Amino acid sequence: MYGNIEYLCSMLKSEEHSQQILVSQLNAEKRARRAAEKKAHDADLRVSDLTNRNMDLESRLETQLNKVSEMVQQITAMLMGGGVLSLPDSLKEELIGAMRVEFERQKQELKDMHEKEKQELIASFNAKLAAKDNEIARLKGEKGKDS
């Protein structure tokens, strides 16, 4: 009888140990499942955030494409002789600045070319004047010898 009690105690300890192992495995699986669920939830949040950001970017891209399309239509209408071109102020300022620089460059180029032509004309006039002065002096010299 004492042997049966020891056997039963041993069996209970073995059963208790098996239950502890199963409870430990169950708890480990629960923790792993919670971790996996948290990762899935975090991934869902990231996907949701990326989806929202993507929609925002697509919306902004659509807006910009519409603006570009409108500007192309305005430019086309202007080039075809109809319609008024309305550009954003920043673009107008940039275009005006570029045109101003080009205008100033061409203006300076014309001034330089005019100054060069003027100097050439003055030099030509001075050369012709000197030639006439020499001819007058030569003629005066010949007239003085004839008298």
Residue 69 CA to residue 56 CA, distance in Å, equals 20
The encoded tokens of residue 25 equal 């495995």
Residue extents of the structural domains in the chain? 1-83, 87-147
| pTM for the full predicted model | 0.38
What's the Cα-to-Cα distance from 47 to each of 37, 51, 61, 87, 94, rounded to whole Å? 15, 6, 20, 39, 41
74 touches 85 (CB < 8 A): yes
Q: Predicted confidence band at 109 (pLDDT cuts at 50, 70, 90)?
A: very high
pLDDT at 82: 66
pLDDT for 72 equals 80
Query: What pLDDT does 128 receive?
Result: 92
Q: What is the pLDDT of residues 56-80, one digit of tens each?
A: 999 999 999 888 888 888 777 776 7
> pLDDT digit string (tens) for 5-61?
888 888 888 888 889 999 999 999 999 899 988 998 988 889 888 899 999 999 999
pLDDT value at residue 138: 87
